[in-house]
A and B are shown apart, each in its own frame.
Chain A
């Protein structure tokens, strides 16, 4: 294969301008991290609420929340991106719709963050539900028998245990959100994948570009993993989960 290698390409300036390719990738990384972290906030809050609601004794609340989870879990992420970006604004009144489409600040970023946040919240809801349901029924009964109200039972008895149990699947989910954020390039967020395509087209050094981007994604996911492992360690209750030390 007669490929023309050029590892110095990252320090070279782009064709039209005086930025370097490295600065492109760094801006891309910045957006990737921003989209991922903001979506994670949305996902964690909504996912916990919905997941908890699914285990409540109120039948209809649980049903609505089940519907929510199924809706977001069963549609591919890319399709959801397009639905939020291209379809949703069409249902707004004409003037507002035009504002959203043309004037709204950082519209691609906002859309992508909401979309990825909701998508991930459905997955977290499922894990939270599973976590709560894995506790023996006696825990809930004991809480109520002690005179706690239902919210108190959740707050002081069920959730502290459930969340500790689901830290490992949540870790995967947190790592996934960085990787899934790549889909945001499809609606024009200037994140890492977008910049990679841009750089490969501009520089024609595709292999170096994608290797560098792979490494950056790997670092993101790895840092996320280590961060969660640290939280897992900090919150561990000795003797509670039979974790091998």
Chain B
């Protein structure tokens, strides 16, 4: 018996070797068809979606801790297209929560295959990752208490202005300060909720951030009617779904899907669903009309970086 088993094992390993050699020989041909992320997905049978926990309404968790949002819907369409192309009806989708600190490393090291959050497409990031066609545009502006009577950045001279540490808004504020000889005191919250608290408790007279995030914070605050989003647009930022760099095949699947959604009018429907209708968990309507820039992008899709939108400065 013992001998028999050993024989089978020997035989088995030889068989494996042959199979391995065969696989090696077959690989080049295989690689021409499927490479990069698609190959990884095909081999592992799973695709990992990076999600945010509180980027309303682009990507967040509902009461049952399930990821929902505008970008999640778009990503689900992309995943469906991947399934179709790889002919894998049993493709497993995994969700990996990411933060603004770890999202780029997680995409480039392969933990996350497609990041469906609220990431600005800019030149510095394009050195590390690639972006699908822009699906949302945010304008950097400021939220103030209506009672303060502030309507423009020029009124902020000598006043404390809040923003969230580790975001691009800080640099924008500094650049604006230099360009316009305004001198305001910068105060920092460690996340958006903290920064809003700075405004709420009068530690700051304005909070500079992406307008969709401001709208979300105001809607969920104690007294939404007390706040307003005002002032000049400091920056226009294209927000896009993020994929690995140098993987044109996978980016093409994502881009084609988005282009399809834009052509069929489906993307506008999704926009209405998430930005202009009541959404979970509180059933509040953000009432955030589509910006002209995004309307234009739906007609002429693009994956240009933020720098392309803000050249005039």
Contact = CB atoms under 8 A, between A and B. Distances in A.
Interface string B76-107: 00000000000000000000000011001100
B101 A206 contact: yes
Contact of A101 (B109, B165, B202): B202
A16 B171 contact: yes
A185 B165 contact: yes
Given A86-B201, A194-B188, A207 B174 contact: no
Nearest to B109: A1
B168 A201 contact: yes
A204 B190 contact: no
B105 A201 contact: no
A206 B129 CA distance: 13
Nearest to B202: A101
A163 B170 CA distance: 46
A188 B165 contact: yes
B217 interface: no
For chain A, give the interface size range. Answer: 20 to 34
B34 interface: no
A101 B178 CA distance: 25
A59 interface: no
A198 B127 contact: no
B174 A188 contact: no
- Chain B interface size band reads 35 or more
Contacts of A91: none
B67 to A, nearest CB: 23
A17 B165 contact: no
Given A101-B202, A194-B188, A198-B170, A4 B128 contact: yes
Interface in B84-140: 100-101, 104-105, 108-110, 124-125, 127-128
Contact of A1 (B101, B110, B168, B178): B110
Interface in A1-49: 1-4, 6, 14-17
A136 interface: no
A197 B163 CA distance: 13
Given A3-B108, A17-B174, A202 B160 contact: no
A17 B173 CA distance: 11
Best-surrounded residue of B160, B205, B244 (most CB of chain A within 10 A):
B160
A15 B172 CA distance: 9
B155 interface: no
A98 interface: yes
Contact of A3 (B105, B175, B178): B105
B171 A14 contact: yes
B246 interface: yes
Interface in A173-217: 185-188, 190, 194, 197-198, 200-204, 206-207
Interface string B157-185: 00110000111101110110010000000
B245 interface: yes
Give the most central of A17, A108, A201: most B CB within 10 Å: A201
Contacts of A1: 108-110
Contacts of B301: none
A90 B188 CA distance: 19
Contacts of A201: 100, 166-168
Listed from nearest, the 8 A-B pairs whose CB atoms lie closest are A188-B188, A197-B166, A16-B175, A16-B171, A1-B109, A204-B124, A186-B190, A101-B203
29 contacts: A1-B108, A2-B108, A2-B244, A3-B105, A4-B128, A4-B245, A15-B168, A15-B171, A16-B171, A16-B174, A86-B197, A90-B201, A98-B202, A101-B201, A101-B203, A102-B159, A102-B160, A102-B202, A102-B203, A108-B187, A188-B190, A197-B101, A197-B165, A200-B101, A200-B166, A201-B100, A204-B124, A204-B127, A206-B104
Interface of A: 1-4, 6, 14-17, 86, 90, 98, 101-102, 108, 185-188, 190, 194, 197-198, 200-204, 206-207
